[in-house]
Amino acid sequence: MTALQNALVDYLALRRSLGHKLADAERQLRRFVVYLEFIGADTVTMDAALAFVLDADLDPASSVPAKRLEAVRGFARYLAGIDGRAEIPPAGLVTYRGRRRQPWLFSDDEIRLVMSTAAASARTALRAVTLETLIGLLAVTGLRVGEGLRLAPDDVDVDDALITVRASKFGKSRQVPVSETTINALAAYTRQRDQAVTAAATFFVTASGAPLAYSHFGLTFRRAVDTAGSPPGHRSGPVCMIFATVSRCGPSSAGTATVSTSPSCCRACRPTSVTASLATPTAT
């Protein structure tokens, strides 16, 4: 590897040892190092940094230029400590003001409709029950989409009705207790999954036993919401779904999530561990 490539590896290792994941920053910085080597630069210069950040092929209205600047500044600060020639681009050269999507709390009926619509769109029985169970689980537990997709088969403890979420945000793990109906639904899915595939890489899998792709699930969910009837002015997506807020009052008598319409009941204020219930899915 070149000196710049070695420096990047060391920088990423240092930052990650402090708890940063830097998934997007690594992608941007690897491109930046390739660009530096392409133009014959052996360190970070202001001109090279600006040319990379303000690439004419990028959409100036997107968040990419600002993310590139942030990533390059961090690497340049590190490099300046071992290479006095490195120049650190100042902050504020590129700004981006993100727009938060308006949240929507799905009702019980809306969740059921999205679940059934997503299942009906599947080409195989396994994918149908996978989509239905995953969406229902996210709705009643408040798990992040990525957390649900990354669950390993052993992370679902049927005997103790407990889900273990490992190495999630900030590298922390937690346990989520669920109700009897939820664990029964997950156990039913496990049986159907094990009959369809010989080896499951994750708890929720494709027909080949591979993990579900975040992008594919997101697209399916958006289409299911649109087909089921998206709320007025609501731009659907798995990140903003969420996926219904579970009430502190507990599960509803119907065996599905109790959805609160109170603004004060959200993931930010809800306890880390929640008890929720999920109706047992049926394959289509």
* Predicted local confidence at residue 130, as pLDDT: 96
Residue 99, pLDDT > 80, answer: no
Q: Say how many CA atoms lie within 13 Å of 206 toward its Cβ.
A: 8
First and final C-alpha spacing in the chain? 52
pLDDT at 255 over 60: no
Q: Which residue did the predictor score with more confidence, 96 or 81?
A: 81
Residue 102 confidence class, pLDDT cut points 50, 70, 90: confident
How far is the CA of 233 from the CAs of 99, 137, 225, 228, in angstroms? 14, 25, 13, 15
Residue 277: pLDDT band (50, 70, 90) is low
Q: What are phi and psi of 40, to 5 degrees?
A: 85, 20
- The answer to whether residue 236 scores a pLDDT higher than 70 is no
Per-residue pLDDT, 137: 95
pLDDT tens digits, one per residue of 142-193: 899 999 999 999 999 999 999 999 988 777 899 999 999 999 999 999 999 9
- Confidence class of residue 278 from pLDDT cuts 50, 70 and 90? low
pTM to 2 decimals? 0.62
* Mean pLDDT, rounded, for 221-235: 73
- The overall average pLDDT reported for the chain is 82
- Residue scoring higher pLDDT (239 or 31): 31
